Amino acid sequence: MTAVEIIDVSPRDGLQIDSRIASVDEKVTLIERLAQSGLRRIEVTSFVHPKFVPQMADATEVLARVTQIPNLQTIALVPNLKGYERARQTEVSEVNWVSAATETFNAKNIGQTKDENFHQFQQMLRLAKEDGKRTAFSIAVSFGCPYEGETDPQAVLDLAERVLATDVDRLMIADTIGIAIPTQIEALMPELVEMTEKAGKELSLHLHDTRGFGVANAYEAYRIGVRSFEASASGIGGCPFAPGAAGNIATEDLAYLFERMQVDTGLQMDRLIEAANVAASLSTKTPLGKMREIYNREKGNDQ
C-alpha cells in the first residue's frame, strides 16, 4: 500500500465538458498511459445521459476496452439508477454516486431533493452489492455552492453520517466549483477523517483549482490525515455549473509535492508527465498543471 493514493479522474472530469469530443481510442490511450505511470484507480467515464454529456456517450465502449488493463480498478460516475443500469452491463470495478450537500444544487442538477436522491442511492447500492461492485458516494459542493454560497459544514457532516451508515466503500468530499480555502479544509475534514475511520470506510478529497488554492487545500488535508485524493492529469477540465471554473488539481503536481515530501504515491513522475501530455493534447483548455511544463522543458520534450 502507498502512503497516499491519487485517483486520476482526467478521462471523466477532465474531458466531460470539452467542446472537442475525444474518441474512444484517444481515451483508451490516455487511460493506458495513466495506468503505466502507476495509477491503480482511474475514473474512466460516467454513465450520464448522452443527451446532456455527449462527451461520455461511449462509456460502455471505453470500459470494455480498459477493463483488461492489468492492476487497474476502473471507476465510473453514476448519476442515477438509469445510469447504473448501463454501468452494471460493464466490468467497471467501482461506481461513484454524486449528490450535493445543498438542496438547490440537487434540485437544479438532479431534479430531486437530497432525501429522494439518497433513497435512490440506497436502491443502487443494493444492486451494486449484488453485482459485486465497489461503491463511492460523492458529496458535491461540500465547501461552496454556486446557488447557496458557502456550504454549511453541518450539512456535509449530516449527509456523511447517513452515507457512512450504509454499505458504501468510499466517501468522497468534493469542492466542485473550486471555492474552498485551507481554513475550510481545517474546519471540516478532521471530523470526516474520524468518522470514516470509525466506520472503516475510505475517505477521498476531490479538489478543483479555480482560485489557485487547490494544492494548498490538498496539503492542508494531508496534514490533517486525508490519504486519498482525486486529481486530473495536466489539470484539465472545468465545472459545467460554474462558468470559467477551472479543472481539478493536476495529478502530476500533487504527485510531485508528495515525492518532495518523501510520501510514497507509487507513481513514476516521468511516465505521469507523458500521460499528462496526452491528457493535455485531448483538451481544448489551457491545462492548469505547472510541473508538466517544467518537466517537458527539462527533457526537451516538444510540447
Site residues (CB under 8 A) for a copy of itself? Answer: 181-183, 209-213, 215-216, 218-220, 243-244, 246, 250, 253, 256-257, 260-261, 289-291, 293-294, 297
With beta carbons less than 8 A apart as the criterion, state whether 264 and 257 touch: no
Question: Pairing between strand 228-231 and 202-207?
Answer: parallel
Nearer to a copy of itself, 81 or 261 (CB): 261
Minimum CB–partner distance for residue 177 and a copy of itself (Å)? 11
Nearer to a copy of itself, 76 or 141 (CB): 141
Minimum CB–partner distance for residue 219 and a copy of itself (Å)? 5
Minimum CB–partner distance for residue 253 and a copy of itself (Å)? 5
Active-site residue 239, yes or no? Answer: yes
Catalytic residue among 28, 78, 101, 239: 239
Question: What is the residue type of 250?
Answer: A
* Element spanning 63, H or E: helix 59-66
CA distance 260 to 219: 12
User: What is the distance between the terminal CA atoms of the chain, rounded to a whole angstrom?
Assistant: 34
Nearer to a copy of itself, 8 or 94 (CB): 8
Minimum CB–partner distance for residue 220 and a copy of itself (Å)? 7
- Residue 166: CB atoms within 10 A of its CB come to 17
Nearer to a copy of itself, 139 or 180 (CB): 180
What residues does 206 pair with on adjacent strands? Answer: 174, 230
User: Would you list the DSSP string of 132-201?
Assistant: T-EEEEEEETSSEETTTEEPPHHHHHHHHHHHHTTT-SEEEEEETTS---HHHHHHHHHHHHHHHHHHT-
Catalytic residues: 239
